[in-house]
């Protein structure tokens, strides 16, 4: 998809992983000039140790935009690459990382919540809240049939057995299920999971926003719910696809009245890269300091930039048809 904004000089950190390689390719297809940087000198344009702040700052000189696709969450890196004036976009965004970034002052833009969850989920929830102020449920459905990179596997492994604060209550990941009608999947049991969008949006909307998670496989989803309750659960180490599963994904926001808005597709890594690459079209809107995707673009704008289709339904009846 061709870019509709002036071509940018973009530095992609980790431009050879599951997401980074796709970001790099899509940016070039949009007409941007892209350099890649990372530890593996044979796979990037510039060899770089991102933990070396001075080297990271030097690599960012001349770039309009730096995209972090390494999966590493390091506030020092954000400070280093924005020092020369480049905007910084980070695909990874856990709540603890965002809190650490919030405590810093940046002279250039830092954009987080970029991807499908968080990212598209923020935009869906923001629209639903504007249309019907009140509590919002976010549902993230991912395919267990996709080969996930190390960062995605590590994120899931960290959630198993851990808990998070939810409006004064501790909630264990992959627990507290609810049964909902999920478009394309039928009635499914979905479980709480610590996505950063729920924390950011709850504070911003001043109303409860809760994130739920499921895999396309009922068995695999139930397996996570079982593992999270076992103190001796084995560590997840593989991102390999599971048999008889797919690479389908869906993100959905649901109001307290039952209305829903959602986006779905195939290939989570590719979709994350598509959202990230589209951000280059909107960098002129970015202001110095920390921002989230829904502060910069609207849902319809990102849909046009990515080609994703936004589906909406009114309150569902018990048989799943529109009321």
- Compute the distance between CA of residue 202 and CA of residue 206 in angstroms, rounded to an integer: 5
The pLDDT of residue 317 is 40
- Residue 58, Cα to own-chain centre: how many angstroms? 28
CA distance 33 to 156: 33
pTM of the full predicted structure?
0.91
Structure confidence at residue 236 (pLDDT):
54
- Domains of the chain by residue range: 9-113+270-296, 120-267+307-313
Q: What are the start-end ranges of the E strands in 222-259?
A: 248-255
SS3 268: helix
Q: Token pair for residue 64?
A: 């309009």
d(CA 44, CA 61): 17
- Taking the CA atoms of residue 273, residue 276, residue 281 and residue 284 in that order, the dihedral angle to the nearest 10 degrees is -160
The pLDDT assigned to 318 comes to 37
C-alpha–C-alpha distance, residues 19 and 125, integer Å: 24
Beta bridge partners of 172: 163
- What is the rounded CA–CA span in Å between residue 234 and residue 160? 10
Residue numbers in the chain where pLDDT is lower than 50 = 1-3, 316-323
Residue 236 in contact with residue 127, Cβ under 8 Å?
Answer: no
pLDDT of residue 322: 43
Asked if residue 187 lies in contact with residue 181, where contact means CB atoms within 8 angstroms, the answer is yes
Query: Under CATH, which number does the domain 120-267+307-313 receive?
Result: 3.30.360
Task: Copy the structure tokens of residue 246.
Answer: 């797919």
Return the exposure string of 48-76: e unless at least 16 CB atoms fall within 10 Å of the residue's CB, then b: bebeebebbbebbeebbbbbbbbbebbbe
Sheet holding 248-255, edge to edge: 178-182, 186-192, 209-215, 136-142, 248-255, 260-266, 311-313
Please give the CATH topology (third level) of the domain spanning 9-113+270-296: Rossmann fold (3.40.50)
Residue 161 and residue 169: Cα distance in Å, rounded? 16
pLDDT at 321: 44
């Amino acid at each position: 998809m061709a870019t509709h904004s002036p071509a940018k000089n973009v530095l992609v950190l980790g431009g050879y992983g599951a997401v980074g390689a796709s970001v790099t390719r899509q940016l070039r297809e949009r007409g941007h000039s892209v350099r890649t940087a990372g530890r593996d000198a044979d796979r990037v344009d510039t060899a770089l140790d991102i933990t070396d702040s001075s080297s990271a700052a030097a690599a960012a000189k001349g770039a309009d935009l730096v995209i972090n696709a390494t999966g590493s969450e390091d506030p020092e890196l954000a400070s280093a690459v924005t020092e020369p004036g480049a905007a910084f976009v980070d695909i990874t965004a856990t709540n603890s990382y965002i809190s650490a970034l919030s405590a810093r002052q940046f002279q250039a833009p830092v954009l987080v919540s970029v991807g499908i969850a968080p990212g598209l989920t923020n935009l869906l929830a923001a629209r639903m809240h504007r249309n019907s102020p009140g509590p919002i449920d976010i549902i993230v459905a991912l395919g267990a049939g996709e080969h996930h990179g190390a960062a995605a596997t590590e994120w899931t492994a960290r959630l198993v057995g851990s808990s998070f604060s939810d409006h004064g209550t501790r909630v264990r990941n992959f627990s507290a299920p609810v049964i909902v009608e999920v478009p394309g999947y039928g009635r499914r049991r979905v479980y709480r999971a610590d996505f950063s969008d729920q924390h950011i949006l709850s504070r911003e909307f001043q109303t409860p926003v809760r994130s739920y998670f499921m895999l396309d496989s009922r068995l695999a989803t139930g397996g996570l719910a079982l593992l999270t309750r076992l103190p001796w659960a084995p560590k997840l180490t593989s991102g390999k696809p599971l048999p008889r599963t797919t690479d389908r994904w869906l993100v959905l926001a649901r109001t307290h009245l039952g209305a829903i808005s959602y986006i779905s597709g195939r290939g989570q890594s590719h979709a994350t890269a598509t959202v990230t690459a589209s951000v280059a079209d909107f960098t002129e809107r970015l202001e110095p300091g920390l921002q989230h995707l829904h502060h910069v673009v609207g849902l319809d704008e990102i849909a046009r930039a990515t080609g994703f289709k936004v589906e909406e339904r009114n309150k569902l009846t018990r048989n799943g048809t529109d009321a």
